[in-house]
Structure 1
């Protein structure tokens, strides 16, 4: 397993790509409301990326082994959809929750992040799931420092999610990122402290827990589009994502911008 240790030049390029990826989510936020289709959100983001930022939508026509080309510039996963939801004619309605996942390419480098959005008055369960998932992501981020392990990250996420009565999706995980969209290491969101790859300065990877309100099990991608993953028991699912750099003393979140949600209070303290 070869894990890239990024140079100072790489890191500066990744800072730019990460900020731009986050700014797409800033841009789309006021449009995410009841009555809009996921396809319209995709069109708006595509136009902003290509014509305003001058970035390339990394997901558009992305074709990993065993998959059909991904047909859109963003992923929109609604309610029981776990990840890789394909935008289309679905109309968002009051009470929905939606994850919007954005990856841009700028000067050959990838900036990958996602946020949850709550449409109108969602249920107490939906709001709690979104909040706990956000806390899980940040608890994972908080573990990042030289000589920590990937198991430390996964354990922190798993402990908080399961302590809240939720479950961790195990089939999909975070990943190394840089000039390539997906590379080593795989960053699973469960595990035991002190196990797995030891972190070194210069590593860059995503932390993106997918957490279900019900059981952890998911169905294979829908045959209708070849991509959308859903919970097996039809329970709600939530996800948040940041791209993280391991620094000499800890971590740096690369996917931050003016509109990024504040970290939880326990992180800011």
Structure 2
């Protein structure tokens, strides 16, 4: 029964559908930009796609032959172990140095902190190809600035003629320094933002109780930063596991394939051997491993209550 002249009651819309409607445009863009290449990659991995197919336009189906060749290849185990170990070294180095820089920024004055933030943003904004070329020039034999500076210091002797890419250890160290230098700004700025949200009253109470710096860090700072550390860890694993430009420009997988990771193996298989089907299979295996690693880590975060 309604009163004459009164407006009829409006139907309540479903409030739970509104978030999905707002996310729909972004999801459509991601599906177009990321979904189609992944589907296309999966299709190519089951095809006999080689140099002949590029000229004839006809592609035959190989079934699981590409995956069989990849999974039974003697190069799979060393490349996989090398990729996982290098990714772990990059993630640990990035998190440790980034956390140290964030803690340092929290103790700096306003002007000095602004200068450090500007330097971090400037380093982060440089494209990785450009910064890798600069890195290559810095460590170039004979004319490299880094070689000249180390020789002038005299700690490691005369390294003016030294080529850092001739041994696997020094080549990985060269790439490690570059990737960590590129990744630290994001981690440091993100952790600094998290540090700024910790109430100062906790630190004041700890100072009154006489807690030392280590105790304050383990009982106050680290618990507050744990969710953010989990987030930057996942992102670092995704980025560092797929490092390609830096390794390819500096070493091209050498010497003797000792710096070849899954990304380099995918490229050389597809374009150097003209076996695009097997290259696609290696790429699919890499994506599957990356999804498994991140899924396990995210599941642990959800179970511990550190992620929603």
Check whether TM > 0.5.
Answer: no
- Name the structure with the higher helix share: 2
TM-score (normalised: structure 2): 0.24
- Name the structure with the higher strand share: 1
TM-score (normalised: structure 1): 0.27
Q: Over alpha carbons, which structure has the higher Rg?
A: 2
Query: Which structure has the higher relative contact order (CA within 8 Å, separation 6+)?
Result: 2
